[in-house]
Structure 1
Amino acid sequence: MRFMILVKASTDSEAGVLPSQELIDKMMKYNEELVKAGVLLAGDGLQPSSKGIRISYPEPGGSPKVVDGPFTEAKELIAGYYLIDVKSREEAIEWALRMPDPHGFGQGEIELRPVFEAEDLTDNPETIAKEEALRKQLEEQKQR
């Protein structure tokens, strides 16, 4: 069962303030633990929304609207993420609780969200098989 751990942005992360070396060291230790346990699928920090792009669809059938950042409400933005594959919701929570304060000074907030699996969205065996084939293809591409 896959979960995304979303690291919420702070006013400092949105201002482009980089983490301290102490926090980087703590996060690297956490990353190593995730890798050693075999649960980490992906994870990265994100640059501030001032470097981002938002695409919205204001009306059905209409043209998408492209807007450059920055975006308001830092607490609603994402500063980073982890994608983990665990056995249960409880295990996902355990891993999230082990993460150091992602901003290092008490502003950290993370959110856990289960990832939809093909079986959650459809009972069509062809669609499920196509999804599995695409995942396998991605894995093969990564190994090249």
Structure 2
Amino acid sequence: MKVMVLVKATEDSEEGLNPTAEFARLMEEMGKFNEELVAAGILLDGDGLKPSKDGKRVAFDGKSRKVIDGPFTETRELVAGYWLWEVKDMAEAVEWVKRCPNPMPGPSEIEIRPLYESADFAEMGTP
């Protein structure tokens, strides 16, 4: 099963790159963790995202489109980075996340979401 592992944003991640010794240590730890994921054949893709001040949203309402410039205020609703993993089940994904170093200097959260697969649409008759 494929899962998207979402590193939730924090006030620190929304400030952008901060080249401190703590940041360097954090990046080294995450690099080692990523190497473990690659060695285990789990990591399909992953990256960090720039702060929301560098992003945009497009709001849809029928045929109308509205572009909204960042930054976006609800930090707890934002994503700072992601991985795409191939795991045998959700339990394996949880075990890997529990092994992950804290991705932020302070408290943080990681969310795991399964991707839809073609079998999920079998009853609908979609090719």
TM-score under structure 1 length normalisation:
0.80
Q: Which letter maps to 1:28?
A: G
* Alignment match, 2:90: 89
**Match 1:41 to one of 33, 40, 44:** 44
* Distance in 1 of aligned mates of 2:84 and 2:17: 24
For the 8 Å contact 2:48–2:81, the answer to whether it is kept is yes
Moved segments of 4+, more than 4 Å: none
1:120 deviation in Å?
1.0
- After superposition, the C-alpha distances for 1:68-95 in whole angstroms (9 at most, x for unaligned) are 1110111110000001000011101011
More strand by share: 2
- After superposition, the C-alpha distances for 1:34-90 in whole angstroms (9 at most, x for unaligned) are 000001010000000000010111x22x22211111101111100000010000111
1:116 deviation in Å?
0.7
What number of residue pairs does the alignment pair up?
124
More helix by share: 1
Task: Map 1:41-120; keep pairs closer than 5 Å.
Answer: 41-57=44-60, 59-60=61-62, 62-105=63-106, 107-120=107-120
* Distance in 2 of aligned mates of 1:11 and 1:108: 10
Q: Which letter maps to 1:73?
A: E
Unaligned runs of 5+ in 2: none
Q: CA RMSD in A?
A: 1.5
Moved more, 91-100 or 114-123: 114-123
Larger RCO of the pair (alpha carbons < 8 Å, separation 6+):
2
- After superposition, the C-alpha distances for 1:90-129 in whole angstroms (9 at most, x for unaligned) are 1010111111111033x211101111112213446662xx
What's the secondary structure of 1:13's corresponding residue?
A: helix
What's the secondary structure of 1:100's corresponding residue?
A: coil
* Alignment match, 1:141: none
Percent identity at matched positions?
50
